[in-house]
Chains A and B, each alone.
Chain A
Amino acid sequence: MENSAEDYRIQSFDLDTQRLLKTALKDPSLVNLEKVSNIIVDQSLKDPVFSKEAGRICYTIVQAEAKQSNGNVFRRHLLNRLQQEFKEREEMRARSLQEWVCYVTFICNIFDYLKVNNMPMVALVHPVYDCLMRLAKPDALMNEDEVDCLVVQLHRIGEQLEKADNQRMNDLFFLLRDGFLLQEGLSSMARLLLLEILEFRAGGWMLSSTAHKQWCVSLLTW
């Protein structure tokens, strides 16, 4: 629990907010947790660097609140805010691709870090799949940022997601395979990323050391 501020990547916030977050981490009862959750979500949607690891700070605050007062206020606000954004994700995507990609990164990060009795939150399984399915659609595959987001998230939480719902993972990979094989206009990088993730899952969410070497070579000669 003794992580320095750098671990949570809160340098992007102004000093007052940094102080607020640090207090939330140590003594949640002293702060307005709804406000804190909004601050974190807002920043995650703007800052790609922050969204990649925001789950960590959320996890710590949830633990701190549970330990201190057996409360769930922060988690509840965080999840409901996520749900709000989820409902309007199509509009978000149309408005700003970066915000959409940040959102998906963030919700996957939350899924990864915030566990309930060491199990992933069941309530998030379908929404996360919905997001990834959206990224696997033909129009999204044309954007390298979206493809990149998709494969990164699958690397991080693919195995957990598959365990939670195998069928949906199959459905997702049908789309990915079709996209790789058939979609015209796909950039070579996108195709490479898709091939890698297809092989990654086929290998049991692992890359054998030889495959890893091969990939390093092909990326170097890129």
Chain B
Amino acid sequence: MSDFTKERRREDRNIEHEKSFGPSRWSHCRKRGINGSLRSNGEADDIDRGRNGHTDSSYKHPDRRHPSFTTPESTGSVSRCGRQADWGSQVEDDEMRRDVHRDMQRYRRRILGAEFTQRERRASSGSSGSCDSREGDNMETDEAVLLRRQKQINYGKNTLAYDRYIKEVPKHMRQPGVHPKTPNKFRKYSRRSWDQQIKLWKVKLHAWDPPAEEGQDKTLDVVEELNLDDVMDIELDFPTITDSQNTQTSLPIHSLSVEDEDCGTPVKVQRTAEPNIA
């Protein structure tokens, strides 16, 4: 027998061998097989092997991966929604992951640089500052969290309002409080606090929506008066008001194309801030 055919036989045997290993390695985490029935370790192979004929050949033996894997393998952690098999989504997810890592490196360098100069300044002036400049130590680094936050930021930035905003107001002209600022995804925040910051940021951005209705100007005044900066920094805990109560105030903002989650927010905030405006 030539080495050539021997090698092929060996390769095939290895594949079969790997296939029987595949599900067993993971099946201790899964109580049930694909058809829903409870299974033992030995059973797993038979159920799963039957499916092989239907699988996409790109996921077959070359990767030594069993087709019934529920967790796709990739270069790093994968979110639960990352189970998309189409190349378009895979590349997009991969790109976002790389962008986040690159941002993280840049941010770290920036913070460390800023911290260093601050420490020098403090040392030379002889004062002992508080520890609130230690952002480098207290940075959010969980990839899943950063990816989720980046996605939320991307939704806000992919709007006409945002495009118009950055064209109209260059960064150095931004006034804190008046002009929306993208939440910093590297700071540690609770999930609620972060989600609320994103909501408020997007609400503020609506002030730059392309002119569609005459109610536009009224919205601008309302939003600017709200002075949301106080609200942005604290952890927000709104009482659960039902939607029927919210529709009392007929803000033009409802008639614009706003995501459902935003409908309640401007009204709630207005209610809280109203005493200040008066």
Q: Please list the residues of chain A having a beta carbon within 8 angstroms of any beta carbon in chain B.
A: 70, 72, 75-77, 79-80, 82-83, 86-87, 90, 116-117, 119, 121-124, 126-127, 129-130, 133, 168, 171, 174, 178-179, 181-183
Contacts and interface: CB of A to CB of B under 8 A. Distances in A.
Contacts of B98: 116-117, 119
Interface in B36-68: 56-58, 62-63
Contacts of B94: 116, 121-123
Contacts of A127: 58, 87
A83 B87 CA distance: 7
Given A130-B58, A174-B7, A178-B7, A80 B88 contact: yes
A127 B92 CA distance: 17
The 10 closest A-B pairs by CB, nearest first: A76-B88, A123-B90, A79-B87, A182-B4, A79-B88, A178-B4, A83-B87, A116-B95, A117-B98, A123-B87
A72 B92 contact: yes
Interface of B: 2-4, 7, 56-58, 62-63, 74-75, 86-92, 94-95, 98-99, 102, 157-158
A181 B4 CA distance: 9
Contacts of A182: 2-4
Nearest to B75: A122
Q: Is the interface of B mostly helix, strand, loop or mixed?
A: helix
Contacts of B95: 116-117
A178 B8 CA distance: 10
A126 B87 contact: no
A87 B55 CA distance: 10
Contacts of A82: 87
Q: Is the interface of A mostly helix, strand, loop or mixed?
A: helix
B4 A87 contact: no
Contacts of B2: 182
B86 A83 contact: yes
B87 A77 contact: no
Given A83-B87, A182-B3, 6 more contacts: A76-B88, A79-B91, A82-B87, A87-B57, A87-B58, A123-B87
Contacts of B62: 126, 129-130, 133, 168, 171
Given A70-B158, A87-B56, A122 B4 contact: no
20 contacts: A70-B158, A76-B89, A79-B86, A80-B86, A87-B57, A87-B58, A90-B57, A116-B98, A117-B102, A119-B98, A122-B75, A123-B90, A124-B87, A126-B62, A130-B57, A130-B62, A168-B62, A174-B7, A179-B4, A183-B4
